[in-house]
Amino acid sequence: MKLSVPRRTAALAAVAAMALGGLAGTTASAAPATPAGALAAPDIPLANVKQHLADFQSIANANGGNRAHGRPGYKASIDFVKAKLDAAGYTTSVQQFSYNGTTGYNLIADWPGGDPGQVIMAGAHLDSVSSGAGINDNGSGSAAVLETALAVSRAGLKPTKHLRFGWWGAEELGLVGSKYYVNNLPTTERSKFSGYLNFDMIGSPNPGYFVYDDDPTIEQTFKSYFAGLGVPTEIETEGDGRSDHASFKNVGIPVGGLFTGASRVKTSAQVQKWGGTTTAFDRCYHSSCDTTSNINDTALDRNSDAVAHAVWTLSAGSTTPPGPVFENTADVSIPDNGAAVTSTVDVTGVTGNAPSTLKVDVNIVHTWRGDLVVDLVAPDGSVYNLKPYSSSDSADNVIATYTVNASSEVANGAWKLRVQDRAAQDTGYINSFKLTF
């Protein structure tokens, strides 16, 4: 029971007068027929990725035939990638470490913006072995990550999460660069990673389509992408822990990645599903013939697009874009301490059930909102209570957005906002009622 607060005000008479606007017909304002889809990643131009590989080859050719740790071709590769990222608006830093008596380098590129507490990082090792130019291992991953970073810049992407890209040194000597990076991250920084995506050998000349079996969300993101292409995938088994994702996994960061196979031989079952021959996935693995001729363009193209898809999808955050909106703005007066009244919206054109996150915007003008019981009534009559009666809540108005799990309800039909005033004296009216699917 309500106590001792002054009840009647002059203003209420005005409110009551405004509330005479009759019971509602539906004035549903349906927004776009198709809900806005999640922002799709662009197609990554294969020609651009291949140009980066040609440039890595030229760098090796000009530097004794390799891009290995401690050799001039490695630092030249770092400078090449860094210049492109700087020109595209990245904040870059070169991290130095020492290994085998020579200086090694990691390149880190941050895309400005996004939640610094949720970092999505994609990376690839940039070093080759000393016996060759390392175009599949790992010019391919390095070039795909680079082109994805440039695509982020071209798109002016504004992801929910913070995006970071990395190119690692001395992977071929035991994941040295990525270990150094992770070991030098303060614990608080490590905890900010939502995920690390690794790309090492993604253009093998006799390719398989392997997805790392690690973080389920990352894994599923890649699998869904290939499923959409109609390309079967398998779980990567040619040596878990043999690339830089292991450095991140070791400190508890969720990881995932792609791989098209190294020295292992493709089985006849794999030839059946992917084509190619029952020979090594990469017969030039760690050899001098790992040149620009050692690339399967289709594999490089698909995997580059998959890198971009994962970066776009995983950095977008979990917020699904809102679907169509239906609103009734006709005023409905609420009788004092009387029968329930309703405002209706007719939902049409929405396939299937309502979402588990149905947004219900309620705008009720009232001088003592505790009087009111507010329910959402689904087309089949199911009742979802939005707000209970409360004798003590003397505040004005109910202006709120409620999220209702309406996933068991068919979306189309007449949805009602039902309001009953259960205590005497204060009154008001439904101003508007809006559903966002």
Residue nearer to Zn ion on the CB measure, 136 or 432: 136
Residue nearer to ligand TRP on the CB measure, 28 or 68: 68
171, 172, 219, 409: which is the annotated catalytic residue? 171
Region near ligand TRP per CB under 6 A, out of 1-9, 71-79, 234-242, 273-281: 234-242
Q: Minimum distance from CB of 48 to ligand TRP (Å)?
A: 23
Q: How many residues bind ligand TRP (CB under 6 A)?
A: 11
Pick one of Ca ion, ligand TRP, Zn ion, none as the site partner of residue 147 (Cβ within 5 to 8 A by kind). Answer: none
Cβ atoms of 78 and 105 within 8 Å: the answer is yes
Residue nearer to Zn ion on the CB measure, 284 or 430: 284
Q: Of 138-167, which residues contact Zn ion (CB under 5 A)?
A: 138
Determine, following the binding rule CB under 6 A, whether residue 236 of this chain makes contact with ligand TRP.
Answer: yes
Pick one of Zn ion, ligand TRP, Ca ion, none as the site partner of residue 262 (Cβ within 5 to 8 A by kind). Answer: ligand TRP
Residue nearer to Ca ion on the CB measure, 7 or 154: 154
Q: Of 288-347, which residues contact ligand TRP (CB under 6 A)?
A: none
Determine, following the binding rule CB under 6 A, whether residue 222 of this chain makes contact with ligand TRP.
Answer: no
Sign of CA dihedral 213, 215, 218, 220: positive
Determine, following the binding rule CB under 5 A, whether residue 236 of this chain makes contact with Zn ion.
Answer: no
Determine, following the binding rule CB under 6 A, whether residue 259 of this chain makes contact with ligand TRP.
Answer: yes
Cβ atoms of 100 and 177 within 8 Å: the answer is no
Determine, following the binding rule CB under 5 A, whether residue 200 of this chain makes contact with Zn ion.
Answer: yes
**What does the per-residue mask of binding to ligand TRP show for 188-207, with x meaning CB under 6 A?**
------------xx------
327 is catalytic: no
Pick one of Ca ion, ligand TRP, Zn ion, none as the site partner of residue 43 (Cβ within 5 to 8 A by kind). Answer: Ca ion
Among 301, 327, 331, 375, binds Ca ion (CB under 5 A): 301
Buried b or exposed e, range 214-226, using 16+ CB within 10 angstroms:
bbeebbebbbebb
Among 305, 327, 331, 375, binds Ca ion (CB under 5 A): 305
Determine, following the binding rule CB under 5 A, whether residue 43 of this chain makes contact with Ca ion.
Answer: yes
Among 242, 273, 283, 359, binds ligand TRP (CB under 6 A): 242
Determine, following the binding rule CB under 6 A, whether residue 80 of this chain makes contact with ligand TRP.
Answer: no
Q: Minimum distance from CB of 85 to Zn ion (Å)?
A: 21
Among 55, 110, 127, 137, binds Zn ion (CB under 5 A): 137
Residue nearer to ligand TRP on the CB measure, 114 or 256: 256
d(CA 281, CA 265): 6
Determine, following the binding rule CB under 6 A, whether residue 137 of this chain makes contact with ligand TRP.
Answer: yes
Pick one of ligand TRP, Ca ion, Zn ion, none as the site partner of residue 236 (Cβ within 5 to 8 A by kind). Answer: ligand TRP
Region near ligand TRP per CB under 6 A, out of 85-93, 232-240, 350-358, 428-436: 232-240
Q: How far is CA 26 from CA 57, 136, 346, 350, in A?
A: 67, 62, 7, 17
Interface residues toward Ca ion, by CB under 5 A: 43-44, 301, 305
- Residue numbers annotated as active site: 171
